[in-house]
Structure 1
Amino acid sequence: MEITGTTMLKPAYPTPHPLAGDRVPLTIFDRAAIDTYVPIVLAYPAPAPSNEALKEGLLKGVAPYPHMAGRLAVDHRGRRFIHLNNEGVLVIEAAATTAVLADVLAAGGMTTDVADFYPTVPEESVGEALLQIKLSRYRCGGLVIGVMVHHHIVDGHSASMFCSTWARAVREGNGFRAPSPALDRAATAAPRGMPKPAFDHRFIEFKGSQGSSSGGEDKSYEVLPMDKIKNLTVHFPAEFVAELKARVGARCSTFQCLLAHVWKKMTAARGLKPEEFTQVRVAVNCRGRARPAVPMDFFGNMVLWAFPRLQARDVLRLSYRGVVAAIRDAAARIDDEYIQSYVDFGGLADANREDLLATAAMGTMLCPDIEVDSWLGFSLHDLDFGTGPASAFLPPGLPVEGLMVFVPSRASKGSVDLFIAVAEDHVAAFQNVCHSLDLDPLPARM
């Protein structure tokens, strides 16, 4: 792949943006997000939109989201903030003179060579473009769009908002009308006059003083050599998902039933001891759960995590309905009281000038736990730049054992692809059971 151009695009506002030049402190929600860039990689068969059309639409699409064109900076206390200086977004153009997109998609699998599909992740994010895009054009006319945005700027909901806006700007051209998203980050993280955190957030959302974290458990995860973490892609056809829902026997989402299924199969593949506890770190959108509710078009981070937790014997023994119930119950605990407690904790941490560290570094082995992210609400049809919707998500490399992502599959409507990082020693066992709908047989010791 040959680089053919590098451009820093800066939105041109007819009048200064109301937030122009602002220095926006990171909220307690921003600080819980891991300090890294999050990639989104999309494939478009020929005829794909031209690079010029994509760049012109990008200028329009990024204008409502000035944080995207800003930079992370550090104040006199050594604390990060977002400087809305309109330094621009980075666009890299590349061309493959011999490869065709169909071969790339047919190869399947996952890659940890991020330079192939999106810009190389900077070693230090301060001062770097927060939104970086790579347009890779293939000989056949197909296109791969690699988008990466820093996690301190957006959560998954906001990232999907931006991508949909960009696609619409390209598709509608001069008829595009920019949205007016909610941008007041401070409003989402205002502590009470007398802050009263009721939960131990230092050990739930952050690493505690011993470097531990996760759902209130004082534990430290092992570190696994990166070459021992294998990235797998598992396809679940629509018929498989429908059968899972039928087995739950009650109304449930595709995400809930698939998470229950994979939790069971990972527990079995890992051979956990019956009495060992295993939990799932599940992202929960807090916009509609806060009081007062935050608008769904709020652009930024507003995610916390639920931690459904069971003994291994119960993950295997319970029906699908029982495991789904455990997942739902944990998510229900992220309510307005919990969110306000978290915001109050953030207010006290700021007042005490406390450093807080997000969890899960590269090479972490989450076993016996897992962590899940979902892009199932991110419709490929929302990503139509005018020549048809994206034909595929291409999976990024997952550097944390036990981390998994659900995405809508290009294979057929209602089908789902799972990208999951599995320890080398557990790959064969997981592949052997991941499509089994039978409840796992209980080992004799149970």
Structure 2
Amino acid sequence: MVFVKRSTLVRPASPVLNGFGEFPYRNRLLFFRPPSQPLSKIITHMKQSLAAALSEFYPVAGRISVREDMRMQLECNNHGVMFSEASCDRTLPEGDKFDLDPEFLLELSQAPGHEKDLKQCYTFKVTEFSCGGFCVAMKYSHELMDGTSFWHFIQSWAEVSCGKPISQPPFVVPFPIGIPSSDAPPPPVPSGGMLTLLDRNAPDPGLFGYKSFPRTRRFRFGKLMIQALKQRNPEYSTFQLLSSHIWWKVCLARGLGDKDTTKLFFAVNCRGRFPHLPKEYLGTPAAWAMASAKCGEMESLGMISSLIKKTIREFSEESWGVSAGFLEHYAGGESSDKAVLDMRPDKDLYIGSSFYFPVFHEFSWGTPCEMAMAQAPANGRMYYFPGKEKGSVDLYITLQHQAMDKLENDASFCDMQAS
């Protein structure tokens, strides 16, 4: 049981100027072993260093509002982020078996002010365990930032907490970089099968049509497993190889036939790829890419990896501009349709997050002993994070129970020696 002690609205330390498709909040949790000083003192320093970081990342302290045309806008109004304190009667797990049940992780991540209608961009919640360890749970709005910007902010907060200057100040633009809306006729659905139109009032196909809700599970791929993948196929990147391995194994666990077409959707970070997007850009400059194949054609890890490599190589600002224009046209409420990824949850996979994110940074109160996410949102969703062991990867994936059971019983899924 988690007991909330108090909640505080933390504003930026110095005033800043006003001026500036919908996604749910993302939640990430960092766990720390019992510190050498009182947690109350640490929390005071947390708020002070957080306020200083917010002065640089001032959009985070703003609020998201919905315009009359149903499009969202960010108001940089200096309102701050909610910071809650809580306690629980459980102890942190010891050793490598750091597994907390999903229901408890969701409870840890809940905090006053996180609900969508309040339009806050960010919330923090510190929960003290009975052993003296604690958890810092963070919720952030995906309308404001993607995972790259989120961990950039957390890394900067860690630096400030240690008395250091922010090594990479954020690049903030007064107006979002995007495709301007126009009165032109509706654009056609882009070719390639990545995007489609769905009735705006239709339910999410990933949440319905099943007798039971899907299950989320974390898998850990050790450094030796990653090295084995690379040694067998040195011409491909870790992302290409690991994603191919998971995609292939999930198709087998789902029992897909040779003639079934399966798609792999993944985000491409456009920072540094496009000339107007520096790597410090604060926002959501991530674009979608997609690889597809008939299951019967997925004959080897190298063949599947070549599909992903080809998709990444052919990705361009011009090709994404076509998709972005299509998405922008249907972003508001003028149309009865909405643009969505053409994803079939029973056959396809969607990759979010990255195992390159700087998760385990040193704060003045210590380095996280573990990181977790509360829950992947729907069937077929998977998220990468760096493992605690350098060179390892943590995977969170959500599948229907039957497919998840088969994946859990596949000894070669997380161990190349078993294949």
TM > 0.5: yes
- Write the mapping of 1:153-164 to structure 2, written as runs, cut at 5 A: 153-164=144-155
Identity %: 21
1:64 to 40, 53, 56: 56
Aligned-partner Cα distance in 2 for 1:197–1:304: 21
1:76 to 68, 73, 76: 68
Q: Is the 8 A contact 1:229 1:399 kept in 2?
A: no
1:259 Cα deviation after fit? 0.7
Q: Is the 8 A contact 1:212 1:220 kept in 2?
A: no
Aligned to 1:375: 354
Note the residue ranges of structure 2 that are not aligned, 5 or more in a row: none
1:190 Cα deviation after fit? 4.7
Q: Is the 8 A contact 2:84 2:111 kept in 1?
A: no
Aligned to 1:4: 5
Distance 1:83 1:428, change over 3 A: same
1:10 Cα deviation after fit? 0.9
Q: Is the 8 A contact 1:74 1:80 kept in 2?
A: yes
Where 1:307 maps in the other structure, the secondary structure is strand
2:225 to 228, 231, 240: 240
1:146 Cα deviation after fit? 0.6
Aligned-partner Cα distance in 1 for 2:129–2:331: 49
- Write the mapping of 1:115-264 to structure 2, written as runs, cut at 5 A: 115-120=106-111, 125-172=116-163, 175-177=164-166, 180-184=169-173, 186=175, 188-190=177-179, 200-201=189-190, 208-210=197-199, 223-224=208-209, 227-250=212-235, 252-264=236-248
1:334 Cα deviation after fit? 2.4
Aligned-partner Cα distance in 1 for 2:217–2:58: 36
Q: Is the 8 A contact 1:285 1:303 kept in 2?
A: yes
1:166 Cα deviation after fit? 0.9
Q: Is the 8 A contact 2:122 2:138 kept in 1?
A: yes
- Which residue identity does 2:215 align to in structure 1? K
Q: Is the 8 A contact 2:222 2:391 kept in 1?
A: yes
Distance 1:147 1:429, change over 3 A: same
- Write the mapping of 1:423-442 to structure 2, written as runs, cut at 5 A: 423-433=400-410, 434-435=413-414, 437=416
Aligned to 1:91: 83
- Which residue identity does 1:21 align to in structure 2? N
- Which residue identity does 1:230 align to in structure 2? R
Distance 1:346 1:208, change over 3 A: closer
Larger CA deviation: 135-144 vs 194-203: 194-203
Aligned-partner Cα distance in 2 for 1:139–1:352: 48
Aligned-partner Cα distance in 1 for 2:308–2:328: 29
1:153 Cα deviation after fit? 0.4
Deviations 1:338-397 (A, max 9, x none): 133344446655899557746489xx971100111233112334x211243211112321
Aligned to 1:418: 395
TM-score normalised by the chain length of structure 1: 0.81
1:300 to 283, 290, 293: 283
Distance 1:298 1:423, change over 3 A: same
TM-score normalised by the chain length of structure 2: 0.86
Q: Is the 8 A contact 2:214 2:378 kept in 1?
A: yes
1:132 Cα deviation after fit? 0.4
Q: Is the 8 A contact 1:195 1:348 kept in 2?
A: no
1:4 Cα deviation after fit? 1.3
Q: Is the 8 A contact 2:197 2:340 kept in 1?
A: no
Distance 1:110 1:224, change over 3 A: farther
Aligned to 2:45: 53
Larger CA deviation: 139-148 vs 256-265: 139-148
Q: Is the 8 A contact 1:191 1:343 kept in 2?
A: no
Aligned-partner Cα distance in 2 for 1:182–1:196: 34
- Which residue identity does 2:243 align to in structure 1? L
Distance 1:366 1:2, change over 3 A: same
Q: Is the 8 A contact 2:264 2:350 kept in 1?
A: yes
Aligned-partner Cα distance in 1 for 2:309–2:184: 28
1:162 Cα deviation after fit? 0.6
Deviations 1:260-297 (A, max 9, x none): 1101100111110101100111011112222x341111
Aligned-partner Cα distance in 2 for 1:351–1:239: 48
Aligned-partner Cα distance in 2 for 1:212–1:354: 11
Aligned to 1:21: 18
Q: Is the 8 A contact 1:201 1:342 kept in 2?
A: yes
Where 2:249 maps in the other structure, the secondary structure is helix
Q: Is the 8 A contact 1:91 1:134 kept in 2?
A: yes
- Aligned-pair RMSD on alpha carbons? 3.5
Aligned-partner Cα distance in 1 for 2:396–2:354: 11
- Which residue identity does 1:95 align to in structure 2? S
**How many residue pairs were aligned?**
411
Q: Is the 8 A contact 2:151 2:359 kept in 1?
A: no
- Which residue identity does 1:84 align to in structure 2? C
1:86 Cα deviation after fit? 1.3
Where 1:60 maps in the other structure, the secondary structure is helix
- Which residue identity does 2:256 align to in structure 1? L
Aligned-partner Cα distance in 1 for 2:341–2:186: 24
Aligned-partner Cα distance in 2 for 1:210–1:339: 23
2:363 paired with 1:385: yes
Q: Is the 8 A contact 1:196 1:345 kept in 2?
A: no
Aligned-partner Cα distance in 2 for 1:350–1:222: 21
